[in-house]
Amino acid sequence: MQRPSIKAAALFGALLLIVLGAALVSRGSGPAGEGASDSVATPEASAGKARGATGSANAAGSGQPQEATPKEDVLPMPGCWEGVGEFDKDTSLDNFRQALASAVGAGDRELAQYLQERLTELIGGDTRRALQVLDWAEKSQQPELGVFMEALKDAAAVHDPKVVERLLKMGEDPGAQLVNRAAALDTLESQKSLSAANIQRLKAVAMDVSTDSAGWVATRTLGRVMKEDYERTGNFAPYWKELMDIGEKSEDMAVRLLALEMPSYSNPIIGGDSIERLSTIMRKDKERDVREMAAFRLAVTETPEKALEAYRTAFPAEQDECVRWAIFRFAVRAGGAQALPLLAQMAAQDPRFLQDYQDFQKLYASGAVDFVRIWLGKEERHQCLVEEGAPH
Amino acid sequence: MSPHSREGMTRMNRPSRWRVALLASAAWLLPVTASAAGNEPPLRATTCSFTGMLDELRAALKTGSPAYRKYVKERLKMAARVMPAEELLAAVQRERDPDVLEALGGAVAGKASFSEDASLLQPLLARAASDSDPALRAAAVRGLKGIGSVDAMGKNGNVVTYEQLIRDSAPEVRQAVVENLVHENAKVYFGHDQTVSETAVATALASRDPEAAAKLLSEVSMEQVGHETVEKLRGNLRTDHPGLRAASATALGGVPGAEAASTRRSLVDLYRTDKDPAVRKAALQGIARLGMGGASTTLESLRGVAPGMDAEIDAWQSALRLGLQEWHLVLREKERIRE
Amino acid sequence: MNAKKMMYAAAALVAGWAGVAVSATAKGPICDTTAYVNSTTYYSCSGSSHTALDIGNGSCNEWNHRGMLAGSYYYKYYGGCAGACYGSTCNGGAGNYYVVTGANGWDFRQLHFYANVSSGSKTCDGCALGLVGGTGQATGPHVHADNRQYATRKSAWYTSKGTTCGTNAYCGNIIGAPTL
C-alpha cells in the first residue's frame, strides 16, 4: 500500500461511531448483557471450547456421528412501551427528543426506527422544523445524530435551498467532528439534483485528504444524486466528469475506487471521451482494485469497439491475474459474442484463460445473447474470491 | 385500554423461553425508567405480552400514523420469531379484521421463513382457501407475500395452491395472488427460480381472469422455464383476449436461449398475422429480446407489414445499434428513444 | 430528453420484469452481541485492499452463522470443505459459502462457514446457514460478506452512514444495504 496507514485508520476510525445500531447496542448492552447472560459466551470461552469440538468436515449429509449443538442465539427482541399511541397522535418537536432518549437508553432499535420515521412525517415540508432538527444534529452524537439526519433525508424539506446550504456547510466545516460532517453529506444523497456549484463543493470535500470519512461519503453522495438525476432527467455528465476526476486523482484508494464504482447503480452510457481516461486508470493505477473497477466501468459505453481496443492493449501489460480476469470478462460485457476473437487472442497470450474462452464460446453457441444470462452460466475459475493480501 | 395493561401482562404466565426473552428485554429498560421517572417521559417501558401487542396493533392500524402502523407490524414480526407458535396461530384462526389478519399472517410467514418450518403456514393457507369473507381470504393471501410461498405450499403438500386461489370469485383475492407471485419472482428469487416461474405460468393458464393472467405472464421472468412451459406459452398466442396474447408474446421474449430460434419464428408469425397493435408491439419486443444485436435483420424484414408499427421498429433498431449487451439496458434505451 | 420522457422510461422498467436491481438490507450474521466488524475496504482496517466486511465474535464452530439479508431470499449453498477454523484450501479461497444471486450480475455472498446440519440451499429469512468458522482462505474464524456485480466487489453498500471497523455486527443491527 502506498497510502499512509494512518489514513486508513483515520478514515474508518472516524466512521467508528456512525452506525446507529452499534451505538444503540453499546448503550443497551450493559443491562442486555445481564439479562441475557445465560446464553452469551465470552469470545475466550467460545474459542476455547471450539478447539477439538466435534463439528463435521462436510457435515450436511456426511454421516458424522456427532455434531456440536450451536450456542443459543440471543435473538433480537424489541421492547414494549406505554404511551406510544398517545405520542403518535401528539408528536411534536417538544416531546420528540425525550421519546428518543427512552429508545436509545433501552437499545430499542425498532422504537428508534419508528421515531425516525415519525420525525420525517413531522418535518414534512416545513423548513423551520428541518432547520431545528439540524440544530439538534449539529450538537449530537450517534445514535441520535443518525436518527435526526436519516429522518431529514426522507422529508420533503430537505430539498429547500436553505436546508441544502446548511447541510453543505456542516459537511464542509473543518471545525466539526468528522462523524457530523459525514452525516450531513450523507443526508444530501436524497437530492433530486445538484447545482454545478454544489457539485464542486462536494468534490472539494472528496478530494481533501483531511476529510477522511466525510470525503468518502461526499463521493458516494455525488454518485447517488447522479443516479437520481439520471433516472429522472437523463442528466449524468456533470457528476460523472467530477467522479472520474476523483477516480483519477484522489490520494485515497477507497475514494478512487468508490468514485469509479458509483455509476454501477444507474448504468449511464459513458461517452467516448471518457474512454481514454478510464483506459489510463485501468493500465496505470497502482491499486489492482482500482484498475479492475476502471475495467468494469469501460464495459458500458457509447463506443464498445473503443473499449475492446482498450482491453486488448491493457490485457498483456497487466501482471495481476485477477485484473486480467476482469479485463477478460468485461470485454464480453462490452462486446458480447463479437468479443470472442479478442478472448481467443487473450487466451493465447495467457493459457489460464483458455477455459474461460471456451466457456463463453459455448454459452453464446447455446443461443443466449443477454450478458446477464451469459454470466449466470459462467463458472468462476480464478482464485479471486478473496482479495490480494489473503489468507486472512 | 392501554395496549400493555396489567391484564395483558398477567396473561403471560408460562415459564417458557419466550417469557425469558421478554424478561430479558424488559431488563434492558430498567435503567431508563428509573432515570427518567421524574420527568414524565412520553413513553414508559412495560413488559411485552402477545395480547398487548395485538391490542396495540389493532389500534394503530385503525388510527396510527404510517410510521406507527409499520412499527407495530414489524415489532410483531420480530416477537413472533421468539414466541411459541400456538398463541400466534390461534390468533390467525380467529381474527376477523382483514388488516390485522394480514399483519398476523405476515408475522406467521416470517416465523415460518426464519425457522424453516413451512407447516406453520397451514392455518393461514386454510383461511386463504376457505374463509367465507373474501376480504379475509385476500388478507390471508397477502400475509404470504415476501416469503418463498410457492416452495412452502409444496412443503405443505400443495393442499392449497396459487392455481386454486387464482380461481377465487373475489377479484381482491386474485389480485393478491398475482402480487405475491410477481413479488416472489422478482424480489425473493430475482427471476432465477424455475418453479416460481412455472407456477406463475400455470396459475395464469388456470385463471378465468384475463387481466390477472396477463399481468402474471408479462411481469414474471421466464429465464429458467422448461420446454413444456414454452409450448404452453406458444399455445396461448391464439387466445381470444388480445391483452393475454400480448402478455404471452412478452413472456416468450424472455425464454431461455435454447428456445430462442423456434420462439422467434412464432413471434414473427404473430406479428404478421395478428391485427392488434399491442400484440404486435409485444411481438417486436420479444423478437428484439431473443436476438438483441442479431435481431436487426428480422426486425427489418417486418418493416411495412403494419406501417403504423414501423416507428416501433425504428426505435428498436436505434437502441440495438448502441451495441449494449444487457437486455435491461437495451429496453431502457429503446423506451427513451420511442417516447 | 425531457424529464417526462425519462420518467416514462423508468415506469416502463418497473411495470415489466426487466431485472431491475434493488437495494436490500443486511444485518449482522451472528446473534451474539459481541460480534463486530474487523475488516472493511481495508483488510484489518489498515491493511491491503479488501472491499468486503469481515465479522467475527472470536468463536469457531459454536455460533450459528445466519443469513444476513432482512427478508426471504434464496441462499445457494457451495459446500464440500472440511471443517476448519484457521483456513483451508477450498472453493477458491471462499471455503463453504452461500450466494444470493440478484438481478443484472449482482450477488451477495457469505463465506468461510463451518458446515453443519443447517447447511444447504434454501429460501429463508435470517435462518441458520452453518456455524461461524474459518474454511477457505482465513487465518481465523469469521464471516466474510461481500456485494459484487459481475464478480467485482463493491463498497457503497456499507450502511448509509458507513459501516466501519468496530461496528457492532449483532444480528439485530443493520450493517449494510447491498444491491441485488
What are the extents of the domains in chain A? 90-159, 302-386
Chain B CB contacts of A102 under 8 Å are: 32, 36, 41-45
User: C65 — phi, psi (to 5°)?
Assistant: -100, 110
CB B16 within 8 A of CB A17: no
Q: Tell me, what's the pLDDT at A272?
A: 87
Question: C70, C76, C57, C34: which is closest to C133 by C-alpha?
Answer: C57
Instruction: Kindly provide the ipTM of the predicted complex, given to two decimals.
Output: 0.89
Q: Tell me, what's the pLDDT at A213?
A: 87
Q: Tell me, what's the pLDDT at A122?
A: 98
- In the chain, the amino acid numbered C104 is N
Place of cell 412520553: B42
Chain A CB contacts of B260 under 8 Å are: 367-369
pLDDT band at C42 (very low <50, low <70, confident <90, very high): confident
Is the CB of C115 less than 8 angstroms away from the CB of A60? Answer: yes
pLDDT band at C4 (very low <50, low <70, confident <90, very high): very low
Closest Cα in chain A, distance from residue B174 (Å): 31
The C-alpha cell at A163 is 436546508
Domain assignments of chain C as residue spans, ordered by start: 30-176
How far is C-alpha A67 from the chain's CA centre? 37
Chain B neighbours, 3+ Cβ pairs < 8 A: A, C
Place of cell 399481468: B215
Q: Indicate the length of chain B as a whole number.
A: 339
Cβ-based neighbours of B232, under 8 Å, separated by 6 or more: B201, B205
Q: Tell me, what's the pLDDT at A386?
A: 56
Work out how many CB contacts closer than 8 A connect B with C. Answer: 84
Q: Indicate the length of chain C as a whole number.
A: 180
Is any Cβ of chain A less than 8 angstroms from the Cβ of B304?
Answer: no
Q: Strands C152-153, C143-149: parallel, antiparallel or unpaired by DSSP?
A: antiparallel
Looking at the DSSP bridge assignments, the partners of residue C66 are C128
The C-alpha cell at B115 is 425457522
Cα B197 from Cα A273, distance rounded (Å):
42
Cα B210 from Cα B203, distance rounded (Å):
11
Cα three-residue angle C122-C124-C125, rounded to 5 degrees: 150
Per-residue pLDDT at C64 exceeds 90? yes
Is the CB of C40 less than 8 angstroms away from the CB of A71? Answer: no
Is any Cβ of chain A less than 8 angstroms from the Cβ of C135?
Answer: no
- In the chain, the amino acid numbered B128 is A
3-class SS of residue C99: strand
Binding-site residues on chain C for chain B (CB distance < 8 A): 1, 5-6, 8-9, 12-13, 15-20, 22, 71-74, 101-104, 122-127, 180
> For C64, which of A41, A70, A258 is closest by C-beta distance?
A70
Cα A104 from Cα A100, distance rounded (Å):
6
Residues of C numbered 40-99 whose beta carbons fall under 8 angstroms of chain A's beta carbons: which are they? Answer: 40-52, 54, 57-64, 66, 77, 79-83, 85, 87, 91-94
Q: Tell me, what's the pLDDT at C163?
A: 66
Is the CB of B30 less than 8 angstroms away from the CB of A332? Answer: no
Q: Tell me, what's the pLDDT at C164?
A: 72
Per-residue pLDDT at B2 exceeds 90? no
Chain A CB contacts of B290 under 8 Å are: 369
The C-alpha cell at A75 is 435473538
The C-alpha cell at A24 is 444503540
Residues of B numbered 210-239 whose beta carbons fall under 8 angstroms of chain A's beta carbons: which are they? Answer: 223
Cα A133 from Cα A297, distance rounded (Å):
39
pLDDT band at B242 (very low <50, low <70, confident <90, very high): very high
Assess whether the previous peptide bond of B171 is cis (omega < 30° from 0): no
Is the CB of A81 less than 8 angstroms away from the CB of B24? Answer: no
Is any Cβ of chain A less than 8 angstroms from the Cβ of B257?
Answer: yes
The C-alpha cell at B225 is 422455464
- In the chain, the amino acid numbered C148 is R
Per-residue pLDDT at C166 exceeds 90? no
Cα A304 from Cα A310, distance rounded (Å):
10
Name the residue of chain B whose CA is nearest to A102's CA: B32
CB B172 within 8 A of CB B199: no
B85 versus A69: the higher-pLDDT residue is B85
The C-alpha cell at B257 is 436461449
Chain C neighbours, 3+ Cβ pairs < 8 A: A, B
Buried b or exposed e, range B66-88, using 16+ CB within 10 angstroms: ebbbbbbbbbbbbbbbbbebebb
Q: What is the mean pLDDT of chain B?
A: 90
Is the CB of A80 less than 8 angstroms away from the CB of B325? Answer: no
Name the residue of chain B whose CA is nearest to A335's CA: B325
Its pTM stands at 0.88
Per residue in B106-137, pLDDT tens?
A: 999 999 999 999 999 999 999 999 999 999 99
Strand ranges inside chain A, DSSP E: 80-82
CA dihedral B226, B230, B232, B235 (to 10 degrees): -160
Chain C CB contacts of A363 under 8 Å are: none
The stretches of chain B forming alpha helices (DSSP H) are: 6-11, 17-35, 50-63, 66-82, 85-94, 98-115, 122-130, 134-143, 149-155, 162-165, 171-183, 194-206, 210-219, 227-235, 242-252, 260-273, 277-291, 296-301, 310-321, 327-338
Mean pLDDT by 10 residues, chain A (392 residues): 33 32 39 26 28 33 60 92 97 95 94 98 98 97 95 98 98 95 97 98 96 93 97 96 98 95 96 94 96 97 96 98 97 98 98 98 97 97 66 42
Is the CB of C119 less than 8 angstroms away from the CB of A59? Answer: yes
Question: B296, B301, B306, B280: which is closest to B330 by C-alpha?
Answer: B296
Chain B CB contacts of C20 under 8 Å are: 328
Cβ-based neighbours of B298, under 8 Å, separated by 6 or more: B264, B268, B287, B291
Chain B CB contacts of A99 under 8 Å are: 41-43
> For B219, which of C17, C71, C180 is closest by C-beta distance?
C17
Per-residue pLDDT at B8 exceeds 80? no
Mutate to test the interface with B, among C23, C72, C117, C171 (most CBs of B within 10 A): C72
Domain C30-176 has CATH 2.70.70.10: yes
Is any Cβ of chain A less than 8 angstroms from the Cβ of B85?
Answer: no
Q: Tell me, what's the pLDDT at C161?
A: 54
Is the CB of A15 less than 8 angstroms away from the CB of C161? Answer: yes
Chain A neighbours, 3+ Cβ pairs < 8 A: B, C
Chain A CB contacts of B22 under 8 Å are: 77
Name the residue of chain C whose CA is nearest to B326's CA: C104
Chain B CB contacts of C64 under 8 Å are: none
The torsion region of residue B83 among left (phi > 0), alpha (psi -120 to 50) and beta comes to beta
Cα A243 from Cα A257, distance rounded (Å):
10
pLDDT band at C92 (very low <50, low <70, confident <90, very high): confident
> For B328, which of C15, C104, C124 is closest by C-beta distance?
C104
Which H or E run contains C3?
Answer: helix C3-15
pLDDT band at B13 (very low <50, low <70, confident <90, very high): very low
Per residue in C108-140, pLDDT tens?
A: 999 999 999 999 999 999 999 999 999 998 889
Chain A CB contacts of B44 under 8 Å are: 81-83, 102
Chain C CB contacts of B220 under 8 Å are: 17
The torsion region of residue B153 among left (phi > 0), alpha (psi -120 to 50) and beta comes to alpha
Cα A222 from Cα B197, distance rounded (Å):
38
Is the CB of B191 less than 8 angstroms away from the CB of C17? Answer: yes
Is the CB of A373 less than 8 angstroms away from the CB of B223? Answer: yes
Assess whether the previous peptide bond of A31 is cis (omega < 30° from 0): no
Is the CB of A75 less than 8 angstroms away from the CB of C152? Answer: no
Q: Tell me, what's the pLDDT at B236?
A: 96
User: C120 — phi, psi (to 5°)?
Assistant: 160, 160
Closest Cα in chain A, distance from residue B275 (Å): 29
